[in-house]
Structure 1
Amino acid sequence: MTTSSTESVAATPPGAPASDSVALPDTLPTYVGLHPGEPNLMEPELLDNPYTGYGKLREQAPLVRARFFDDTPLWLVTRLDVVREVMRDPRFVNDPSRVPGYQGEDPRERLVKLFGVPSHLREYLVKSILTSDPPDHTRLRRLVSRAFTARRIQDLRPRVELVTDELLDRLPGHAEDGVVDLIEHFAYPLPITVICELVGIDEADRGLWREFGAAFASLDPSRVGAAVPAMVEHVHELIGRRRAALRDDLLSALIRVQDDDGDRLSDTEMVTLVLTLVLAGHETTAHLIGNGTVALLTHPDQRRLLDEDPALLPRAVHELMRWCGPIQATQPRYATEDAEVAGTEVRQGDMLMFSLVAANHDPRHYTDPERLDLTRQPAGRAEDHVGFGHGMHYCLGASLARQEAEVAFGKLLTRYPDLALALSPEELEKRERMRRPGTWRLRRLPLRLHPEA
């Protein structure tokens, strides 16, 4: 990356050469280079080194003309204050059909078609709580928000700690030649166990969800296209089983709501809620744990701060989410009317996308933003970043994700104080970093729990 630190292997999340990192599938069409001056989100520099790539665009302008994966033109919103402003602005919506006079194919439909999703199942991905607007968004969020209250999340902490301890106990048994994959055996199992218990997914079914998540992460149309029918069928079967034997979980609560008043929640909406909550509820946290672990192991000065003061963990999780969070871009929004944004004329119907990675490293807001600093003091708010979004679409499970990350980092570093990367940071980035637009994640994270003999 751009700078280095005297006490760190790398001062910023390192990039990797496109030819060596875990590649995108060849079956995914690319439109890179078709429009000079309008970078496509599949540009090698944006995939391999998004901190530098999107940083250059941020310094070019607060709104940059760019191209979506499928070559659709869009405005990329890059600076923190502007990202927050537009995220709060009701003139920009998730559903393009709400744009007055809108005609033509829904861009979201075009995208899921690109990824091989059968036409009769596309509504399960296109019409979710993540892609809806009020009043539907308000109604759906209200139905599930009670499962994520501060009291409910706090009550879950002993269970999160127990699951974490059990996974850490098992780590040595997974080691091969002294090396264990933290993604496979810790970072994924922790959040998927917790969210599945919260939603009401039986332990026997959880392996399926890991497979579903891997299929979506691959961006391979053949894998995504095959996963969606299996996911939808599985959730319908799950709802049928749970309806016959209700429990104290979110799925049972949704069934009760539907039984009381079917107009409040359709069958499709219930399936979509389950799909969204389980997939979104573990993927982000798993890769926050993975990315954050690499950051701490390559910044021994920052790791020492946590060793000396575990009370720093909540602030540390916020800083890790800002500095190397796994979600680097949001889904598109659409202008319902002509508007001026940061001095740029945006036309009715224009697509906008928020670059979280650019915003979270904005030097207009952060002092020395490329430096990882677990003691960084928020500027007037507890959460001084947009890693979990902002406004009405702020991540519903953010408090749960933060709690899981706090417990994970705290217990992992305490249990295995000699924890170290099994590969050099450069090798790790070259061999295990997945080249996926909008996300920053590792396929594997090989670690040594103890020093080599």
Structure 2
Amino acid sequence: MTTSPTESTAVTPPDSTASPSTTTGSTPAPGSLPDYVGLHPGEPNVMEPELLDNPYTGYGKLREQAPLVRARFLDDSPVWLVTRFDVVREVMRDPRFVNNPSLVSGGGDQDPRARLIELFGIPEHLVPYLTDTILTCDPPDHTRLRRLVSRAFTARRIQDLRPRVERITDELLDRLPGHAEDGVVDLIEHYAYPLPITVICELVGIDEDDRALWRRFGADLASLNPKRIGATMPAMIEHIHAVIGERREALRDDLLSGLIRAQDDDGSRLSDTEMVTMVLTLVLAGHETTAHLISNGTLALLTHPDQRRLLDEDPDLLPRAVHELMRWCGPIQATQLRYASEDTEVAGVQVRRGDALMFSLVAANHDPRHYTEPERLDLTRQPAGRAEDHVGFGHGMHYCLGATLARQEAEVAYGKLLARYPDLALALPPEQLEEQERMRQPGAWRLRRLPLRLQPEA
């Protein structure tokens, strides 16, 4: 949605704008990942500078090379990058490609995720909180878990939430001038983040006093810093257990209370570990990606005044605009890995049982085989109505659970922001902003800050 609740979760991003060293086999700095860039000529690592600095160009070149490209993941393990729109959609809905590698018969006893978990310093007793989640499981467990929470994300329920989303948005917009320093306000810190985290925390049942803590949890997990992640995971899991324990004593009308009731009615429907991971996934996924969809989209509109004018002239265009912005500059640019459960052929390429695949959403969403002038931002491109002609929210059974909520929040955020502050403008030249504030992240496209002027300079 990273962060509507999404099952097309991006590779966890680093917290440094510095590109990885191109020195192969170098000793990693304390608290950082090993550098595997360049170790396998012809098989690019996802940490390649070309892929981090400009994924649109970098992954675009790989897309034009082949529909499946042999590459390397963060831990240097081999992976197939699926790059073209039609192939991505086809494989996403193919049940032979699973999220949980333990389901791959003949794949051996070693879980291919074990090395990555070890690199991040996750204590062994916490591993199930990462490997046994709605994001990493397959039917029938996936069907069971998704059913438990899907009622909170129906189109009707999300539409009923809209007045509350609008009130939160209005309150944040009222406060924006008070956050300005020398006429400049950071939209991410004071608008793009607070809106979705407030909405998802209210929906799930996280108290206001705990929301700053969740912001820190999210930042630590998104750091790609093993030391930070290893320290945060135990604290986060302990915190969620405590919240669940407190809620058992005083149930409310929220999603967490609903999960507790479901477990009390039939303990086989939801284990303690599954409940913790569900809260973790929904809250983190429910605000991270939506926040960056809002910030990426705002930047796109401010740098494309012709497209911004279209929204000024026709606010009813907002639903189509959100889809196009998700396609053109969405925050999620690659999915978590899936694994072939049997030998099969994909787009003329022989994929072996146990092989890992990663869908390159950025390549697929800019595929000239599917889109006319894919690099051009066109808010009228997407079809009217409820149709969706991109893979920014995934596809198939693992389609983003919170896509409807994310789209609604983005519609409200863009519409109200531009209406309230019609003179809104970047406080830095676009090139400088990209150089200084864009995080170089494998699988994601995010800004650290988005400094804006609400009014013209005096």
Q: TM-score, normalised by structure 1?
A: 0.94
* SS of alignment partner, residue 253 of structure 1: helix
Q: Indicate which of 282, 298, 301 corresponds to 1:293.
A: 298
- The structural deviation recorded for 1:104 is 3.8
Instruction: Rate the CA distance shift 1:297–1:34 in 2: closer, same or farther, 3 A.
Output: same
Alignment of 1:148-297 (within 5 A): 148-297=153-302
Residues 326-357 of structure 1 show CA distances to partners (whole Å, capped at 9, x for unaligned) of 00000011111110100111111111110000
Pick from 114, 131, 134: which aligns with 1:129? 134
Q: Distance in 2 between matches of 1:112 and 1:162?
A: 41
Of residues 61, 64, 71, the one that matches 1:66 is 71
User: 1:127 offset after TM fit, Å?
Assistant: 1.3
Alignment partner, residue 56 of structure 1 = 61
Partner of 2:369: 364
Aligned residue identity for 1:168: L
Instruction: Decide which moves more: 115-124 or 434-443.
Output: 115-124
The alpha-carbon distance between structure 1 residues 94 and 258, as it changes in their structure 2 partners (threshold 3 A), is same
Could you tell me which residue of structure 2 aligns to residue 33 of structure 1?
38
Equivalent-residue separation in structure 2 for 1:147 and 1:112 (angstroms) = 31
4+ long deviations beyond 3 Å: 20-26, 377-381
Q: 2:52 aligns with which of 40, 47, 70?
A: 47
Q: Which residue number in structure 2 is paired with residue 94 of structure 1?
A: 99
Give the partner amino acid of 1:159.
R
How big is the shift at 1:21? 3.4
| 1:213–1:283 Cα contact (<8 Å) kept | yes
How far did residue 22 of structure 1 move?
A: 5.2
Tell me if the contact between 1:334 and 1:350 (Cα under 8 Å) persists in the aligned partners.
Answer: yes
CA distance in 1, matches of 2:106, 2:132: 20
Shift in Å, 1:92? 0.5
On the 8 A contact 2:19/2:49 being kept in 1, the answer is no
Uncovered stretches (5+) of structure 2, i.e. residues with no partner: 1-13, 21-27
Aligned length: 435
* Letter matched to residue 443 of structure 1: R
Determine helix, strand or coil for the equivalent of 2:70: strand
The separation in 1 between residues aligned to 2:59 and 2:363, in whole angstroms, is 5
Letter in 2 for 1:198: L
- SS of the residue corresponding to residue 287 of structure 2 reads helix
> Quick one: distance in 1 between partners of 2:33 and 2:296?
26
Query: d(CA) in 1 for partners of 2:384 and 2:169?
Result: 32
Q: Secondary structure at the match of 1:201?
A: coil
Cα 1:23–1:58 change in 2 (3 A) is: closer
Q: Deviations over 1:98-144 (max 9, x none)?
A: 11112143222322221222221121112110110000000000000
State the Cα deviation string for residues 179-198 of structure 1 (Å, max 9, x = none).
11110000000000000000
- Which of 362, 381, 391 lines up with 2:396 in the alignment? 391
AA aligned opposite 1:300: P
Deviates more, 1:252-261 or 1:103-112: 103-112
Identity %: 83
Matched, 1:308 2:295: no
Mapped to 1, the partners of 2:255 and 2:114 lie a distance apart of 29
Distance 2:415 2:385 in 1: 26
Superposed displacement of residue 381, structure 1: 7.1
Please report how far the alpha carbon of residue 402 of structure 1 lies from its aligned counterpart in structure 2 after TM superposition. 0.1
Q: Compare 215-224 and 61-70 and name the one that shifted more.
A: 215-224
Report Cα offsets for 1:348-398 as digits up to 9, x if no partner: 111111000000000000000000000114399710000000000000000
Look up the match of 2:9. none
In the aligned structure 2, how far is the partner of 1:355 from the partner of 1:238?
A: 36
Structure 1: give runs of 5+ residues left out of the alignment: 1-17
- Relative to structure 1, the CA distance from residue 230 to residue 423 in structure 2 (aligned partners, 3 Å threshold; closer, same or farther) is same
Residues in 1 aligned to 2:127 and 2:337: alpha-carbon distance in whole angstroms: 17
Q: Residues 231-278 of structure 1, C-alpha deviation per residue, up to 9 Å, x if partnerless?
A: 101110000110000000000000000000101100000000000000
